[in-house]
Structure 1
Amino acid sequence: MSNALANGLAGAGGGIIAQIITYPLQTVNTRQQTERTAKKKSLAADGAATAPAPPGGGTLFQILQVIRTEGWGGLYSGLKPSLVGTAASQGIYYYFYQVFKNKAEARAVARKKKGLGDGTVGMFSWLVVAAVAGSVNVLLTNPIWVLVTRMQTHTQAERKIMEAKREAMLMEASDADATDMEAFKEKLSELDSTKPHPFGTFHAAREVYNETGIKGFWKGLIPTLIMVCNPSIQFMIYETSLKRLQSKHSENKRRMKNITPLEVFLLGALAKLGATVSTYPLLVVKSRLQAKQEIGRNVMLRYTGTLDAIIKMIRYEGLYGFYKGMGTKIVQSVFAASVLFMVKEELVKAILFLTDESRKILLTFGK
């Protein structure tokens, strides 16, 4: 088995495990990112309808709130397509990353033979390798993440729709006479007792298609493509740190050359932390575009594209809007990346070991 394929399979396996462990945090974080909360001055100036109040409490409180109102299933909305997306995304990414990495390393060795360079891959080359692999991954898997975002935020969107309908009914009731009040109360009671309808992968796909057609499955593509710099930064930090750590191990008096799983875990955490903090605003914009657009008269709740989303977020929410839920995301992404790197490295070793053992057995029987 090729090194690239082994890394692809290990990346998919590590990604699935990390996703299952951290998915509740991801669900809450997506809801935090897509929550619109306008500045008071903006609302007064534009005469807009009252903005939705931000969810109270911290991340733990919101997790408990979801469990109370939606059950444990609410924390795992969209898990199935998310696992498919994670396996496909990590598999595709690591496969192409290893392919391009092998080419970059071969080129560096060739340059050394010509007297150019020291035979190692430079920092800029790591960025390019990760960026190209990330771009291929984004183009192929973006539709899956659109569906996952829709499913994670469906209950939140349904609640906003119900609130808008209730507000409209209350405004109508203020103009109604006494004879219409009984009918109004009945309609209001019926509205309040309405429960969100089941919303699976097929429902999410149909909703996206009915809104904007096939192109809807690539919503948020522009910020997502720009965000390939996230794994680029992540892998640049990881590969550079790993190389330095390996160098220190080789110089160690105890001659401990192998990197331990704990060291890989910590390197993965450091790499993901740096990448997440620097690219988080783009992640918020992407989530806003992929989620169901809010209804109602408030223009701050609807976006027509990436630039429109950025302008409206700055105008109505300020810079704070771009960093909503960042604390949750840092915890989720750093822990997920740490688990992923640790599991991936161990799976690569296991896959290559099993492949090597299988080859030996075949050679033995072939004699």
Structure 2
Amino acid sequence: MSDALICGLAGAGGGIIAQLITYPLETVNTRQQMNRNSKTLKKTVGTIDQICQVVKQEGWDGLYGGLAPSLVGTAASQGVYYYFYQILRNRAETGAFERKRKGIGDGSVGMFSSLLVAALSGCVNVLLTNPIWVVVTRMQTHTRKDKDNHTKPVPSQGAISAVVEPPSYGTSHTIQEVYGEAGISGFWNGVFPTLFMVSNPSIQFMLYETLLKKIRKRRASSNKGANDVTALEIFLLGAVAKLGATVVTYPLLVIKSRLQAKQDICGDKRHHYKGTLDAIMKIIRYEGCCGFYKGMGTKIVQSVLAGAILFMVKEELVRGARWLLTGSAATSIR
């Protein structure tokens, strides 16, 4: 089994576990991003209070809307990302080694190369998996209130009006809805800000690998095993790296969610976005710069926790797979 395939499968497994643990926070965060009323910025409901509200009004199912396609998307995204990341990373390391043989550099992959590798892997991931996340966003933002609004009395021949029950808002219904609104292209709504958001994992990996490299150098210089990095240390490194990346790229996430959610075509034109630039201008005009940071506190908690869990689980899965295949506990991240 190739190294890239091991990393891809381990990344998918780690992503699924992280998603299962943090999904309610992600659902709440997506709904916070959809809040378009600038006045509510000063009266933001806390994350825990909002979770309680969703459970009270919609039941526990409300926190897990879109979980099934989200798990598929997470497995696909992490698998694709780590697979291509490892392939490109191996090529970058080979190039660095060849340069060292020629007397150029120290043989290690530089920060810029790490950033480029992560960015290219992210672009491939976005283009392949964006349709899944469009469906997930729709299902996360579909509330019981929306369902009630679709239930309309229909005049009947008698005195009593018939009530049309709305279709079950499952994955298949959501796919049909997106296709009915915009055709195939509708599944790539928000792809441009999402492509720019590849800088998030790029920054995350750059920070992560820089910190990991420093720890291993310190261990090596102190006569300890350079590869002796504990799961707790991996968890903390992943958390710090994800925190930095999330703070920098959060406005792009808000724009992406607004574009992927169901558009209010017949309602307030302020809530209907024709594209990325239109969304940016309307958020600035009607909500101010604060509109780009709605729900950031929740996202930081969710993404930092998910990122830390993903890194920790992925590292352990890779170590276990390599131990089974080679009989030695080799390091998983270079």
Letter of the aligned partner of 1:353 in structure 2? Answer: W
TM-score (norm 1): 0.82
Quote the offset at 1:18 in angstroms. 0.1
Identity %: 63
What SS class does the counterpart of residue 36 from structure 1 fall into?
coil
Does residue 42 of structure 2 align to residue 72 of structure 1? no
What SS class does the counterpart of residue 143 from structure 2 fall into?
helix
1:315 to 285, 294, 307: 285
Q: Give every structure 1 segment of 4 or more consecutive aligned residues whose post-TM-superposition deviation is greater than 6 Å.
A: 52-55
Letter of the aligned partner of 2:37 in structure 1? Answer: T
Quote the offset at 1:249 in angstroms. 1.2
Counterpart of 1:168? Answer: none
Q: Where does 1:58-207 land on structure 2 (aligned, <5 Å)?
A: 58-155=46-143, 158=146, 197-207=167-177
Assess, with a 3 A threshold, how the Cα gap between structure 1 residues 284 and 195 changes in structure 2: closer, same or farther.
Answer: farther
Counterpart of 1:350? Answer: 320
Quote the offset at 1:196 in angstroms. 6.1
Counterpart of 1:18? Answer: 18
Q: Which runs of 5+ in 2 are unaligned?
A: 153-159, 329-334
The separation in 2 between residues aligned to 1:63 and 1:16, in whole angstroms, is 21
Q: Once structures 1 and 2 are overlaid, which stretch shifts more, 138-147 or 293-302? A: 293-302
Quote the offset at 1:2 in angstroms. 1.3
In 2, are the aligned partners of 1:6 and 1:351 still within 8 Å (CA)? Answer: yes
Assess, with a 3 A threshold, how the Cα gap between structure 1 residues 31 and 304 changes in structure 2: closer, same or farther.
Answer: same
TM-score (norm 2): 0.90
Q: Deviations over 1:168-189 (max 9, x none)?
A: xxxxxxxxxxxxxxxxxx99xx
Q: Deviations over 1:221-273 (max 9, x none)?
A: 00000000000000000011000011111122555741000000000000000
Q: Once structures 1 and 2 are overlaid, which stretch shifts more, 29-38 or 272-281? A: 29-38
The separation in 2 between residues aligned to 1:157 and 1:118, in whole angstroms, is 60
Quote the offset at 1:150 in angstroms. 0.4
Assess, with a 3 A threshold, how the Cα gap between structure 1 residues 312 and 73 changes in structure 2: closer, same or farther.
Answer: same
**Superposition RMSD in Å:** 2.4
Counterpart of 1:8? Answer: 8
The separation in 2 between residues aligned to 1:241 and 1:55, in whole angstroms, is 38
Quote the offset at 1:101 in angstroms. 0.4
Q: Deviations over 1:91-143 (max 9, x none)?
A: 00000000000000000000010111111111000000000000000000000
Q: Deviations over 1:29-78 (max 9, x none)?
A: 00001121146xxxxxxxxxxxx999852110110111111111110000
Counterpart of 2:155? Answer: none
Does residue 17 of structure 2 align to residue 29 of structure 1? no
Number of residues paired by the alignment? 321
Does residue 253 of structure 2 align to residue 278 of structure 1? no
The separation in 2 between residues aligned to 1:221 and 1:152, in whole angstroms, is 18
Q: Deviations over 1:2-46 (max 9, x none)?
A: 11111001000000000000000000000001121146xxxxxxx
Q: Where does 1:244-255 land on structure 2 (aligned, <5 Å)?
A: 244-252=214-222
Counterpart of 2:276? Answer: 306
The separation in 2 between residues aligned to 1:155 and 1:27, in whole angstroms, is 11
What SS class does the counterpart of residue 195 from structure 2 fall into?
helix
The separation in 2 between residues aligned to 1:301 and 1:143, in whole angstroms, is 22
Quote the offset at 1:197 in angstroms. 4.4
In 1, are the aligned partners of 2:167 and 2:173 still within 8 Å (CA)? Answer: no
Does residue 186 of structure 2 align to residue 213 of structure 1? no
Assess, with a 3 A threshold, how the Cα gap between structure 1 residues 219 and 142 changes in structure 2: closer, same or farther.
Answer: same
The separation in 2 between residues aligned to 1:306 and 1:156, in whole angstroms, is 28
Counterpart of 1:179? Answer: none
